[in-house]
Amino acid sequence: MSKEKPGFLRRQWLTWKNYPLRSSILTLLLAGAVGGIVFGDGFNFLMAQTNTTEFCISCHTMKGNYEEYKKTAHYSNRSGVGAGCPDCHVPHTFWRKIFRKMEAAKDVWGEITGVINTPEKFEARRMRMATAEWERLKASDSFTCRHCHSYEMMNEEKQGQTRYNKHKQAKAEGKTCIDCHKGVAHKLPKEYRDPDEEE
């Protein structure tokens, strides 16, 4: 009666187990380094692929958002500098970006499970989603906005006196971009009421 041949993993374990300790540690370190490089490269590739406007609008409800955005200065303007979905909605530092990607997974899940998979369902939840985004931007001091915009770089002549003064006042009051610029790239929810108009 012949002995059954051990499986692949068992053979690897037996081979590794019989190596001298120094060779075993070296093999483990080498395997860890190669595994780390493969994982890191794969992870960076995945992050890059999911950090594009094309990826964002691959969900059909986001196509409507994209059409709204195309009518704004963030898409097309006199300077030719445009911002895509990730420029505004994804932080530019590594750990903030990872956390934001985890948060955004619920939107993908909402599309897959049918919570926001039609324009009507999306509109019904627009206020809730917009409010969450405004709160996120406010909590980060409009971090993604400030990646391109800053009070210090604003030009009084090009901006006009009224706008320039408003920005100066906002800076003095410690306001952040989203305090005044809701609806800058997408239409405002029907339920939205401007707090300044209510006063």
* DSSP codes of every residue in 95-128: HHHHHHHHHHHHHHHHHHHTSS-SHHHHHHHHHH
Mean pLDDT of all residues in 48-64:
85
Rounded Cα–Cα distance for residues 91 and 116 (Å): 24
**Residue 176 counted as domain residue:** no
**Residue 7 counted as domain residue:** no
Number of structural domains in the chain: 1
Mean pLDDT of all residues in 125-129:
92
Tokens of 31: 């395997």
Rounded Cα–Cα distance for residues 26 and 37 (Å): 17
**Residue 168 counted as domain residue:** no
Q: What is the pLDDT of residue 152?
A: 85
For the whole prediction, is pTM greater than 0.85? no
**Residue 3 counted as domain residue:** no
Confidence of residue 126 (pLDDT cuts 50, 70, 90): very high
**Residue 32 counted as domain residue:** yes
**Residue 93 counted as domain residue:** yes
The predicted-structure confidence for 79-93, as pLDDT tens digits, reads as follows 788 888 999 998 888
* Residue-range definition of the domain harbouring residue 114: 23-66+82-148
Q: What is the pLDDT of residue 133?
A: 92
**Residue 100 counted as domain residue:** yes
